[in-house]
Structure 1
């Protein structure tokens, strides 16, 4: 479990090159951290998935493996249990490992003849690790951050050609550099970065984050000193419409002792979702829930109503074992009430964080010193002093952006971000007649 190895990973997803109106099928790039679940889009799917074949290879000299053949999952692959085909013919991979990186091709066949072009997805896996077994004040720790990636050339060649690199930031978001005597940072190549520091007493529960420039991908290492007692609360941030995994950090050797309990706020009724490893059928979201092999709770197609407090509890012979493991689920959602999206019209985007941690979202986010804000496609923060934008915040968990659309705004993105936790949701303008799209860039487990 993560608390035993002192790691806390962020899973962050970014899809690129999905350009409306361009000819052919563009390659997609998906970034994910190891241990998370991921969805690889099939951008050439036909009306059903019986024509869909998914093919994989890790690098140019590796053997090509057929994972899905004409809509049917192959059973002779080593990761058979972790794969599934989505209703939109996407390829879903549970509990991603560093070995899952590489090239995935979605191909369509009808009557044994290939239809159209391949749709290729490159999966990049980001992982942070430490070889130290003794994590305590006074000891030196070395963190290694590595991007596992192949796009036809080596990861080092590709990341260098794209002009992106790995770097480390502290909990406040400040970039760490070698000129600070606390840290020694090295980069054996462009896809690996190591951070070495001597731990202080106040470093317990402190985070250091490895980031990837441009694609806004990062992994966090949270210090857990050896011998610390209890089970820390976890915070998971997700956007509506995505799938999420809630970790059970007190799981025993199997899940027959595991019970998951939920409530949305202090006055709401407590609901048992999983009882001793068995999913309850009398809950309204029964179909969207499943229990992971590690006793985690998986929720498909998250809605804003899913936010709240989730408790993983262990029972043996009707007696509770150990402490509860609590997970707070925070759901970020961006929306617009306008039906007419076109140049010359005003559009108002509303970004809201649905959150409860024992107090209201507004009280909690204010006490944590975090807030919502908007950035443009270049990553520049939008402010009211720019006459194009009117930004308001009815409370700390809601932010609205109003602007009059220009001709060049078609396919432009505005992103709502949450400080410190690096969570954001992007609104991409699609003028009327085009599909409006919401893209989730980040999801985080603290």
Structure 2
């Protein structure tokens, strides 16, 4: 999908929230997770619901289509059910996130009663991928974010004592709106050193929210089986969506 269609889809989601008005609980959230990690997409204003998520649906929209993932609190037949589950508070959990999971998730709950109201959560899920490529003695680390939306992400590599983009004779760097790479000699940074010291910083331009991901290369959506250090074993985490704007009925 080209950038113009991405903009139209994002604007549509925002307008959808505005159209529902004050009578509807609304939440617009943004979440960035690393390939292979677990993501929890929270449903909105759950305390009003006492029916074990029977009135909950989750839909996923990407560049190609919209798929119903959850209906009546149950994983739908069109969903990849082996990686999805619904929690007791109606949040949607995605295990072992892949780039194909990037997109917009809409959680909707219908409040029963004489004045029926919907409670809507729209979660924009971005996925961070790290790769490593070695050409003779030269190693290149790349960190990228998909989808690259109209509000963009700023991506850069960090070392514990400095931003790698400051002058450093041992490093060559490249940066774009949604990706960054750093190149160096393998004799300068061994594999164990890379795992321990390199981190990728992702900043969402719209909100200024910053997330830092320790270096851990992946291939085809799965963790590599390279030698593990203490730093690597502690770098994985479960990520929960953070609120950009919130207007919930209480």
TM-score of the superposed pair, with normalisation by structure 1: 0.40
Structure 2: gaps (5+ residues): 1-21, 218-224, 243-250
Are 2:60 and 2:105, in contact at CA under 8 Å, matched by a contact in 1?
A: yes
Instruction: Give, in whole Å, the separation in 2 of the partners of 1:417 and 1:444.
Output: 17
Aligned counterpart in structure 2 of residue 327 of structure 1, from 123, 128, 147: 123
Are residues 434 and 279 of structure 1, via their aligned partners in 2, closer, same or farther at CA, if it must alter by over 3 Å? closer
Structure 1: gaps (5+ residues): 1-226, 356-360
Are 1:347 and 1:405, in contact at CA under 8 Å, matched by a contact in 2?
A: yes
In the TM superposition, what whole-angstrom CA distance separates every residue of 1:176-230 from its partner, at most 9, and x where no partner exists? xxxxxxxxxxxxxxxxxxxxxxxxxxxxxxxxxxxxxxxxxxxxxxxxxxx9984
Structure 1 runs of 4+ aligned residues shifted over 3 Å read: 227-230, 436-444
Instruction: Describe the SS at the equivalent of 1:282.
Output: coil
Are residues 406 and 441 of structure 1, via their aligned partners in 2, closer, same or farther at CA, if it must alter by over 3 Å? farther
The reply on whether 1:262 has 2:49 as its aligned counterpart is no
Instruction: Give, in whole Å, the separation in 2 of the partners of 1:353 and 1:364.
Output: 12
TM-score of the superposed pair, with normalisation by structure 2: 0.69
Are residues 398 and 247 of structure 1, via their aligned partners in 2, closer, same or farther at CA, if it must alter by over 3 Å? same
Instruction: Give, in whole Å, the separation in 2 of the partners of 1:277 and 1:441.
Output: 25
Aligned counterpart in structure 1 of residue 150 of structure 2, from 357, 363, 374: 363
Q: 1:336-351, aligned counterparts within 5 Å? A: 336-338=132-134, 345-351=137-143
Instruction: Give, in whole Å, the separation in 2 of the partners of 1:428 and 1:280.
Output: 32
Cα offset, 1:314, TM superposition: 2.0
Instruction: Give, in whole Å, the separation in 2 of the partners of 1:415 and 1:228.
Output: 43
**Relative contact order: is structure 1 or structure 2 higher (C-alpha 8 Å, sep ≥ 6)?**
2
Instruction: Give, in whole Å, the separation in 2 of the partners of 1:289 and 1:445.
Output: 16
Choose between structure 1 and 2: higher helix proportion: 2
Are residues 246 and 408 of structure 1, via their aligned partners in 2, closer, same or farther at CA, if it must alter by over 3 Å? closer
Number of corresponding residues = 198
Are residues 391 and 442 of structure 1, via their aligned partners in 2, closer, same or farther at CA, if it must alter by over 3 Å? farther
Root-mean-square deviation over aligned CA pairs: 3.0
